[in-house]
Structure 1
């Protein structure tokens, strides 16, 4: 959990990110995904099978089709689909997602060659990977997919770390390092005052990205590092050249120095050394006022992390139920200790609230009550509501690389139950959940941004006013009489939602909290924080106490 490249509560399997100061200005290419499987009519000759080879030794077309589908899913960013085509779906999805996001890889181009089959029946499909690294260039390498026939007759990619890259292993991973330029553009806060990585450590990597350089362009390298020691064991790719001259003019951000200082201070005092992240956002326009990470160097989990949002997601679930007229705050929705839907679900500390109203279920964050309402929503409805009203899963142009949320259609009833409470395959981070909260309390989605002039390609619909009013009332009640009581001493009409997100059977839960006051929302995640009330709430409390007023 302390790995600087971890996301979503797991130690990162494929990468870590550290940053030395370096310019950056190139926007992510919108190049189309290219996936080609080179198994032509003459492929048998390329495989060394010749005209007299035993026909039984030719690769099964079903195996090559599965390889084609796996590469297409990976290249298209459909990590759950790619994972499902392997012998270890959850691990594969995790590694592929973290490898791609952690190394700032945009749209991969994966080109397969002719398949071969071994004596033990394993089919191998070599492929060339062309990985566009955000703002740097393309990293090209070769790897191969092993496929095994399963007991049910289907083919699966036999999951091993080395298929992602031959040198990715249980002892070594990759780190993207962006180099410091001799001279770069100044980066300022929203008032035009210079920002410094020395004074605001969490912004160091962000400032490096934004600095830009008109001369030699961005520079960096993909390095291979020891998982335990972090020592560099090799360099896999290098990008860029030394600048000829510096760029002109400062880059003005939306960062508010007061809020940023409060975020840094709160994480340092309250995160207890755990990996954590926090974002503060303006409600009226989506501008990022502060973002901070613990540890401050390396991976920007605040905007690029991939976490199950836990019960903070119940804001979206409640919005979907209210839009449907499926439930009202005063309706009785029982909250038992346990509810079984393929697996046993329970509430935090196995609490129960018999005869509770839906308002009580929300304020006490009752998992079983929310899961019991799953039949009120269609199979695709959660994702549709998240995208249509909250902008989740659409392509955001924040000004820096970001993960903009994922709400896939549940694969079965158990996963649908999990998605009702922000588990399963629902993914977000502090930026996305701050945006969700801002939308819930205002009714209107505003694409989050950290610089001016970013384009907005999202399309959303405003929430009905009665839904907004009910969500605000329920979040306020969570502070006055629910799981966010720890914020009740703060001035103003603070509303909030706590969250506890399960990570795995071996790892402690992540703690979450989202809160709004006036024109500001704050979202925080603490990896291994156990509960949101005990870990994320103190961080947010300190921030709101430190900066009592709204930004102008």
Structure 2
């Protein structure tokens, strides 16, 4: 998977525009020749079209080329395919710029031919109005032969949209949303100045309540009088637009997370989520850099060996591993489609499953690949951990992916959190909470969020085993960075390969009392060495559970 992803920035917007200013916007064209467009031919300038047994394919090709040029923003080229190039170029350019269209999907449909030889190609338009939404409609392109016998688009305003005419045009009216204040669980206002690593999440929190609304109106060209509304975007804000967003963030945990990441990341990118185990409420979210996107909620990372929590649950649920004391040999290498190895080619002959988990033995887990069905790991992830369902956290989130394996090596890689398995700190903090409590509580970050994802309860025997193995990871395994902390802290480390020349991503998930935490450090090399000090400092700074 790619090492980093980048979030899109919102562009500055004018409050009201009409389509008069030329610009070039890159879009995409979808051509579906077999699709019949929903164009009503019983009205408008193309009302008398009659299907013919055969339509000249060159005419259809010219219509498709015109749509491709229009969608791609090459209006000069599109206009050159018409019988009125100057008017066509000006109209297309001002239509796209004035309505703030950022992407155009134009799909060719059914072609018909009239008795006078005019060919008409129906099409559907799906236009994305920047920061508002999608506008869909149907129209059609008439084509006639010119004096030289070449097909040309017979230019007329209604081909752009059937309601355009010499007396009526479109106008985009936009109303910008008012970003409300965002409060922590105690009612204190949160800001990026106080918590810079919370800023990406704050942008999502404020943006979710302060969205723009708008409409495309049909207006009289001379008077500007509104004659109709083509489409609307967004719902008007209900009540006071300044109504605060009340979050579940705990200022003590957030401050500790900010300080720990600023001190220990050494300029690397990373993300962290801490949440309550009993109800899934998010206590802290930290993203580095603070001016990036919300990696903690929307990042897509290979979870590496932290995923062995889910794999272990699946193996115990189906009886492939009886208990943590079951012997599962840990060889230096194991081949399952391809050769898998351990860090430094380590091996632990005659190891128990608990030992395999604690020292993060890849080969032991890979050797059990055949014990699970192709889709069993994904089913356990969804049925018990809520992964792959749609989570309603209060802001956008990526809720994990465990696709069915394509082959033996793909399946083996999934066992150790590599291959196509994708997660983020939000998801892995939730996995940790579910593992040690047995009950999936879908995470939420706003107090009014209504959880939509559900899952079954893990058997008590599986929960007891997972807690024991995570504790052993701290006392005698790869998570000893947390060994000196008071309380029965449990953890799991992960070292995720990202490919190319980039260093591995480092992961660590941990639990103590009623709190679960997950941290990833990009190019952190190892989980214990990079994410470990971050979580250790947080648990040291906040020694007690939230009330």
TM range (shorter): 0.5 to 0.7
CA offset digits 1:186-222 (Å, max 9, x no partner): 2110011111110001222322332369888379xxx
Matched with 2:469 is 474
Q: Report what 2:495 is aligned to.
A: 500
Q: Which residue of 349, 355, 366 maps to 1:354?
A: 349
Cα distance per residue 1:334-361 (max 9 Å; x no partner): 1111112222111122211111111100
Residues 366-515 of structure 1 aligned to structure 2 (within 5 Å): 366-515=361-510
Distance of 1:264 and 1:43 partners within structure 2: 70
User: 2 CA distance for matches of 1:445 and 1:109?
Assistant: 41
1:324 aligned onto 2:340: no
Q: Please state how far the C-alpha of 1:462 moved relative to its aligned partner.
A: 0.3
Q: Normalising by the residue count of structure 2, what TM-score does the alignment of the two structures yield? A: 0.68
Which entry has the higher C-alpha Rg, 1 or 2?
2
Distance 1:111 1:308, change over 3 A: farther
Aligned to 2:277: 283
Per-residue CA distance 1:136-175 (angstroms, 9 max, x = gap): 43499xxxxxxxxxxxxxxxxxxxxxxxxxxxxxxxxxxx
Where does structure 2 lack aligned partners over 5 or more consecutive residues?
14-29, 37-51, 62-102, 111-122, 137-174, 215-232
User: For the Cα contact (< 8 Å) 1:513–1:524, is it kept in 2?
Assistant: yes
Q: Is the 8 A contact 1:18 1:298 kept in 2?
A: no
Contact 1:185 1:246 in 2 (8 A): no
C-alpha contact (below 8 Å) 2:506/2:524 kept by paired residues: yes
Find the counterpart in structure 2 of residue 48 from structure 1.
58
Distance 1:45 1:410 in 2: 46
Q: CA deviation at 1:185?
A: 1.7
Task: Indicate the larger mover: 195-204 or 410-419.
Answer: 195-204
Distance 1:532 1:213 in 2: 33
Runs of 4+ residues over 4 Å off in structure 1: 18-22, 40-47, 108-112, 126-133, 180-183, 212-216
Point out which structure has higher relative CO (alpha carbons under 8 A, 6+ apart).
Answer: 1
1:194 to 189, 192, 214: 189
Counterpart for residue 517 of structure 1: 512
1:318 Cα deviation from its structure 2 partner: 0.1
- 2:95 alignment counterpart: none
Q: 1:259 aligns with which of 250, 253, 258?
A: 253
- Give, in whole Å, the separation in 1 of the partners of 2:518 and 2:272: 6
**Using a 3 Å threshold, how does the CA distance of structure 1 residues 21 and 382 change in structure 2: closer, same or farther?**
farther
| CA displacement at 1:250 relative to structure 2 | 1.7
- TM-superposed deviation, 1:481: 0.5
Deviation string for 1:373-411 (max 9, x for gaps)?
011111110000000000000000011100000000101
Distance (whole Å) between structure 2 residues aligned to residue 21 and residue 208 of structure 1: 15
Deviations 1:32-67 (A, max 9, x none): xxx99342589995852789xxxxxxxxxxxxxxxx
Aligned-partner SS, 2:404: coil
- Partner of residue 308 from structure 2, selected from 301, 309, 314: 314
Contact 2:178 2:211 in 1 (8 A): no
The aligned residue for residue 531 of structure 1 is 526
2:3 is aligned, of 10, 30, 37, to 10
Distance in 2, Cα, partners of 1:472 & 1:281? 17
Pairwise CA RMSD: 3.6
In 1: Cα distance, 2:451 partner to 2:56 partner: 48
Structure 1 contact 215–246 (Cα < 8 Å) conserved: no
For structure 1, which segment, 476-485 or 338-347, has the greater mean C-alpha deviation from structure 2 after superposition?
A: 338-347
The match for 1:549 is 544
Gaps of 5+ in 1: 1-7, 23-34, 52-107, 116-125, 141-179, 220-238
| Cα distance, 1:131 vs structure 2 | 5.8
> Is residue 204 from structure 1 mapped to residue 213 from structure 2 by the alignment?
no
Tell me the distance in 1 between the aligned counterparts of 2:545 and 2:342: 35
Q: Partners in 2 of 1:9 and 1:215 — Cα distance?
A: 32
TM-score (norm 1): 0.67
SS of the residue corresponding to residue 512 of structure 1 reads strand
Task: Report the Cα distance in structure 2 between the residues aligned to 1:428 and 1:505, rounded to whole angstroms.
Answer: 20
Residues 279 and 530 of structure 1: CA distance in aligned 2, closer, same or farther (over 3 Å): same
**Is the partner of 2:435 in helix, strand or coil?**
helix
Q: Which residue of 2 aligns with 1:333?
A: 328
Give the paired residue count: 408
